[in-house]
Chain A
Amino acid sequence: MNNITSLCVSLATLLVWPVAAEEGQPGKATFSADQVVEKSHQAFYAAGADMKADVTMELITGDGKQRTRGLTMLRLNTSGGAAQKYFLYFKEPSDVRRMTFLVWKYPEKEDDRWIYIPAVDLVRRVAASDRRSSFVGSDFTYEDISGRDISADTHKFLREEKLGSNDCYVMESTPKETLDYVRRIAWIDTTTYLPLKEEYYDLRNELARVFTADTIENASSGAGRGEIPTVMKRTMRNVKSGHRTEVTFKSVSFNVGLTDDIFTERYLRQAPSKWVP
C-alpha cells in the first residue's frame, strides 16, 4: 500500500512540478535532482513493462585472470513499475549451471530472494539484508544490478557537462545510512537518462569503484513500439584492487509478454523453456 501511495505521490509531483528552478536543479530541465535520478533509475533499471536478455559477466583480476558467468535474465515490472521481479538462470560455468535466482524487489523493504540448487533440487531463501554484497563474486553489488532505493539517498545536482560527446547532468547521491561508500557521482545522459559513468567514493572519500556504460544501443521495444536505448556493455572497476567486471547484454528485448507466474517456485525448479532455451 505504501508503495502505491508513494508512487501516486511521485506521479502527482511529476505532473504539477513547476518549471521554476530550485537549489540543486539542472539548468535546462524542468526536473528536480530527485526526479532526474528517478528518471535515470526508470531508464536504466525499469525500462519497458518487462525485459529479457542474455548476460555475460567477465570477472577480471588486476593481472588479467578471467572468470565467466553466463546467464539469462528476465525482468518484470510490478506495482505499476515501482517494484520488479527478476529471474536469473545461470548457464555457465559448469558449477553453477541451471542454478537460478529469483528476486522480488520492493522499493522500500527487503527483497524476497530465492536460489535454486539443481543438484539437490533445493529451493533456499537467501537473506537479503546486505544489498551491498557482491553479486556472484563480481564487482557489482545486488543493488548495482537491480537498482538502489531512490529515497535511501540525498540527491544533488552538481553541474551539467559533456562526457565525450554526450551532454550529462552530473549528480551527487549521498546515502542516508552508513554504507561502504559515502557518495556517488553520476553522469546522466540528458537525452536518454542512462548513467554513462558513476564514481563511488569510500569512507575515506577516496575513489573506490568506477562504473562506465561502454556501449549503448537501441533494443526492440516490441512490435510497433519503437526502440529503447539500452546499455549493452558496462564495466565496474575496483580502482583499489584493479579487479573489474565487464557485463555484456545480448539479445535484449523489451515488452515480450512475461507474466507473473514465471517468477514463482514452479519455474525456479524447472526453467520456463519458452524464455530460457
Chain B
Amino acid sequence: MGAMIKRWGLCLTMAACSLLNTPAYAAPQLNGFAEWRGGLRLGGDAHQSNDATLDEARLQLDSSASWKNVQFRGKADFMYDAVDSEADIDPREVSAAISPLSAVDLKLGRQTLTWGVGDYLFINDLFPKDWKSFLLGRDDEYLKAPSDAVKASFFSDIANLDVVYTPRFNPDRYIDGKRVSFFNPRLNRLAGAGDAFAVEKRDDWFTDDEVAARISRNIGGFDAALYGYHGFWKSPMGFDAISEKATFPPLGVYGASVRGNVVRGVGSLETGYYDSPEDRSGDDPLVPNSQARVLVGYEQEIVTDFTVGGQYYLEHMMSFGAYRASLPNGTALADEDRHVLTSRLTWLALHQSLRLSLFTFYSPSDNDAYLRPTADYRIDDHWAASIGANLFMGESERTFFGQFEDAANVFASLRYGF
C-alpha cells in the first residue's frame, strides 16, 4: 500500500510539472438533456404500494473544460421523482484527466468505467451496476453506476495496462425490495418495500478498497485481454448470522477475453474465475461459493440495418457437493450450473432515426426468461422518444429472473437534448 501511495505521489508530481510547461486554454462547454420518463407495473405486486414504477423528470448537465493539459469533466443529474415525491442530485462524473507521460494516462475522481466483451452480461467488469435502473427501464446509460476511483493506463507496443484503484468499495445499486420485489432466502419468500433488508456497510477508506486491472492488446485484429480484480461481491450475496445483516464477502476474479471478426460478424469469448476466499471449501451456506464463468457471443448484420446477436453464458458453482451438504434441510438448492442464452435483435429504419430492439435472456436451467423490447425514435436533432417493456417470466419465484415477475413493466420517455 505504501509503495502504491509513493508511486501515485510520483505520478502526481510529474503531472504537476507537466502543467507548468503548457499554455492554458479551452473554455467550458455545457451540454445535456431534459427528460421525462414514466413506467407502470403490468400486474399487481402485493409487496409494493405503488403501481407506478417510474415517474421522473431529469435534467442532466454535462460540462467539460481544460486547463493547461488537464481535462476536467462534470456531469450531474438533477431529478424529481414523483413516485417517492423526492428531489435528488446524482453526480455521474467529477473527474480530472491528464497524461503525465506520453505513454501514461491518469483519470481521477468520479467516472463511469466499463470493460469486457459481454452484452448485458458481465464477468470481468466488476465496476458498479445499477440493476434497479435497468429493470425499471431507465436509459441504458444508467445500467452503469459511477465509480469513485483513480484509473491509471500505461501504453506500450507490447501491451496496455489499466489499473483502477477504488479506495472505498463501490457496491452495485442492487435490488433491495424498493419498487422491485425480490426473493429473500432469509424470509423464504418475496420481499418488497415494507420488508427490512439490513445490509452491513463496507465503507472504510483504504481497507474496504478495490483494485481492478486489465492487460490488453490487439493481436491480428482481435482484441485480447487479461483481467484481475480484488475486492468484494458487488451485491450483498453473503449473510452474517450474528448481526443478521446481508454482507459483501471478499472476492477475487481472474479472467480473460478475446473479441474480433469471425466469419461475417463479431465473435467474443470471455471467462473468469470467481474466487470467494471466505468459502473456498464451499461448506459455508452463508457465503457464495467460488465460481467459474464463461460467455461466448456472436453478432452479425444479417441484412442491411438488421443485426442479430446471441450469447451463451455459464455460471458453474465450485465445490457443489460441499454446498449441498451444508444446506439446512428444506432450503432450496441452487443449481451447480446456471445456463443463460441471450439474443439481441436490432432493426434500424427511417434513416436510423427509428431503432427497434428486442433483448431476451432465457435460462434453460432456471426455466425463466427476461424480455426487453424497446423502440427509440429520434424526432429531430433535439427530441427523442422511447417506449419499452421489461417482461419477466419463470416457473419459480426463487430463480434469477422468475423472482422479478411482479416487476414486469412498460415505460416511455421523452427527451430534449442540447
Hey, which bits of chain A sit against chain B, CB under 8 A? Answer: 59, 65, 67-68, 92-95, 97, 104, 110, 112, 119-123, 125-130, 132-134, 136-138, 180, 243, 261, 264-266, 270, 273, 277
Given A67-B353, A133-B305, A270-B105, 16 more pairs with CB closer than 8 A? A65-B380, A93-B381, A94-B32, A95-B417, A119-B141, A120-B143, A121-B113, A121-B114, A121-B144, A125-B260, A127-B264, A128-B261, A130-B301, A133-B301, A133-B304, A277-B26
Q: Which residues of B contact A94 (CB under 8 A)?
A: 31-33, 381-382, 417-418
Known contacts A128-B261, A265-B160, A120 near B301 by CB under 8 Å: no
Q: Which residues of A contact B345 (CB under 8 A)?
A: none
Q: At the interface, yes or no: B66 with Cβ under 8 Å from chain A?
A: yes
Known pairs A125-B268, A261-B155; A130 contacts B304 (CB<8 A): yes
Docked CA distance A247–B141 (Å): 30
Contact status A125-B223, CB under 8 Å: yes
Is the Cβ of B111 less than 8 Å from the Cβ of A121? Answer: yes
- B258-292 vs A, CB cutoff 8 Å, 1 = contact: the mask equals 01110011101000000000000000000000000
A–B Cβ pairs within 8 angstroms, 9 of them: A104-B221, A112-B221, A127-B266, A127-B301, A129-B300, A130-B304, A134-B351, A180-B304, A265-B160
Q: In the complex, A134 Cα to B125 Cα: how many Å? A: 32
Residues in chain B near residue A134, CB distance under 8 A: 304-305, 348, 351-352
Residues of B within 8 A of A93 (CB): 381-382, 417
The verdict on B299 contacting chain A, using a C-beta distance below 8 Å, is yes
* A-B pairs, 8 with minimum CB distance: A137-B352, A94-B417, A129-B264, A93-B381, A119-B141, A137-B351, A125-B266, A130-B301
Chain A residue nearest to B155 in the complex (CB)? A266
B418: chain A residues within 8 A (beta carbon): 94
- Confirm or deny: B216 has a beta carbon within 8 angstroms of a beta carbon on chain A: yes
Q: Which of B216, B221, B351, B378 meets A265, CB within 8 Å?
A: B216
Q: Which residues of B contact A128 (CB under 8 A)?
A: 261
B66: contacting residue among A127, A129, A132, A273, CB under 8 A: A273
Determine whether the beta carbon of A138 is less than 8 Å from that of B105.
Answer: no
Question: Which residues on the B side are within 8 Å of A132 (C-beta)?
Answer: 304
Cβ-based interface call for B163 (8 A)? no
Chain B residue total in the interface (Cβ 8 A): 52
B129: shortest Cβ distance to chain A, in Å? Answer: 10
Measured CB to CB, the closest approach of chain B to A124, in angstroms, equals: 9
Cα of A130 to Cα of B302 in the assembled complex, Å: 8
Select which of A127, A136, A264, A265 is within 8 A of B352 by beta carbon.
Answer: A136
Task: Report the separation of the CA atoms of residues A260 and B106 in the bound assembly, to the nearest whole angstrom.
Answer: 21
CA distance A59 to B352 in the complex (A): 11
Closest to A65 in B: B380
A92–B381 touching, CB < 8 Å: yes
Whether A59 lies near B417 (C-beta < 8 A) is no
Closest to A94 in B: B417
Report A-chain residues with C-beta under 8 Å of the C-beta of B33.
Answer: 94
Instruction: State which of A129, A264, A265 has its C-beta within 8 Å of the C-beta of B265.
Output: A129
A120 in contact with B114 given A130-B301, A136-B352, A266-B105 (CB within 8 Å): yes
User: How would residues 381 to 418 of chain B score, 1 for a CB under 8 Å from any chain A CB and 0 otherwise?
Assistant: 11010000000000000000000000000000000011
Complex Cα–Cα for A273 and B216 (A): 23
B105 partner residues in chain A, CB cutoff 8 A: 266, 270
The verdict on B140 contacting chain A, using a C-beta distance below 8 Å, is: yes
Please measure, in the bound complex, the distance between the C-alpha atom of A97 and the C-alpha atom of B75, giving whole angstroms: 14
Q: Which residues of B contact A120 (CB under 8 A)?
A: 112, 114, 140-141, 143-144
Q: Is the CB of B121 closer than 8 A to any CB of chain A?
A: no
Chain A neighbourhood of B305, CB < 8 A: 133-134
Q: A121: which of B112, B216, B299 is its contact (CB, 8 Å)?
A: B112
Kindly list chain B residues whose C-beta atoms are within 8 Å of the C-beta of A133. 301, 304-305
User: What 0/1 readout, one digit per residue, does chain B (347-366) give for beta carbons within 8 Å of chain A?
Assistant: 01001110000000000000
Query: Which chain B residue has the least Cβ–Cβ distance from A133?
Result: B304
CB of B300 within 8 A of CB of A67, answer: no
Bound: A19/B383 CA distance, A? 59
